Amino acid sequence: MSFLEVLLSVVLLALVTGMIMAALQGVVGSQLRQHQRLGAAEVANRLILEYIDDQGSMPKPGLPVMYGRDYYAWSIEERSITLTPAKPPEPAGATARPTSGIDLDRLKTVRLTVWLSDERGGPPEAGAPMFALSRIVDPIFGQLRNPDTADHIMKDPVLRQKFLDAVTGMAASAGSRPTGVNPRSTGRGTQPPPKTGGGK
């Protein structure tokens, strides 16, 4: 073999090796990006479950969350939902049906966005792996989504009182209580207390 043939063989071998290394780097980079996006999805799912169970236990807004070896920043957005009844409203003069007293328009959508960040947090950079998760949330009965969560709420005095206040507050705001009835009375309404003593 001449020197020129050896040189050409070396050049071809270098080109093939470079193409193989570039392909391997692309595969590894894509796998790493998918792994980071999967981590963002896991953080979003955990945060939204924590939001439903107890909003007070969520991390402070603006602070990143560490998952594995990566940091993820997050933001949350809430929007109210207005339900449209499937049946038209009752005509005037019709007998009113009893209602539960709990407003159905209490539902809202919660959108949680998580993106790859560093320990300082900050807005998402262009091309950063990210994941967005939206969910319809019932601020009252959504907390009772499973037996474990319900048991935790009933055992915690603060969470239990907060749940009861939410239920009774929604019922009171719907105007289901009859006029002139004291909610703390014993069922006598506005009747005066019986007179005591001797004399009519």
Q: Does pLDDT of 33 surpass 70?
A: yes
pLDDT score recorded for residue 39: 92
d(CA 74, CA 38): 14
Q: Does one domain contain both 14 and 65?
A: yes
Domain with 37, as residue range(s), is 9-82+103-138
Q: 78: which strand partners?
A: 110
Report in angstroms the alpha-carbon separations of 58 from 21, 61, 82, 156.
44, 8, 27, 17
Does residue 53 sit in the same domain as residue 122? yes
pLDDT in tens, 143-162: 677 777 778 778 888 888 88
pLDDT at 183: 38
Task: Verify that 45 and 66 share a domain, yes or no.
Answer: yes
- Alpha-carbon span 181 to 190, nearest angstrom: 6
Q: What is the pLDDT of residue 111?
A: 92
Compute the chain's Rg from CA coordinates: 31
Looking at residue 28, what is its pLDDT?
82
* Mean pLDDT (the chain, rounded): 76
pLDDT at 200 over 50: no
Amino acid making up residue 159:
L
| 8 A C-beta contact, residue 106 and residue 139 | yes
Same domain, 118 and 150: no
Q: Which whole number is the average pLDDT over 99-103? A: 54
CATH assignment at residue 120 = 3.30.1300.30
Q: Do residue 76 and residue 51 come from a single domain?
A: yes
Instruction: Summarize the confidence of residues 16-40 as an average pLDDT.
Output: 88
- In a shared domain, residues 132 and 157: no
- Do residues 116 and 158 both lie within one domain? no
Mean pLDDT in residue range 37-62? 86
User: Which has the higher per-residue pLDDT, 3 or 105?
Assistant: 3
Query: In the predicted model, is pLDDT for residue 197 greater than 80?
Result: no
pLDDT 10s digits, 58-98: 888 778 889 988 999 999 998 888 777 777 766 665 555 55
- Tell me which of 59 and 140 has the higher pLDDT: 59
Q: What is the pLDDT of residue 166?
A: 75
If pLDDT is split at 50, 70 and 90, which confidence band does 102 have?
Answer: low
- Sorting pLDDT into bands at 50, 70 and 90, what band is 40? very high
Give 28 or 88, the one with higher predicted confidence. Answer: 28
Give the pair of three-digit tokens for residue 32. Answer: 């790493």
| Mean pLDDT value across residues 119-126 | 83
pLDDT of residue 178: 40
Type and span of the H or E element at 59 = none
Alpha-carbon distances of 154 from 44, 49, 170, 184, rounded to whole Å: 26, 18, 19, 23
> Is 182 part of a structural domain of the chain?
no
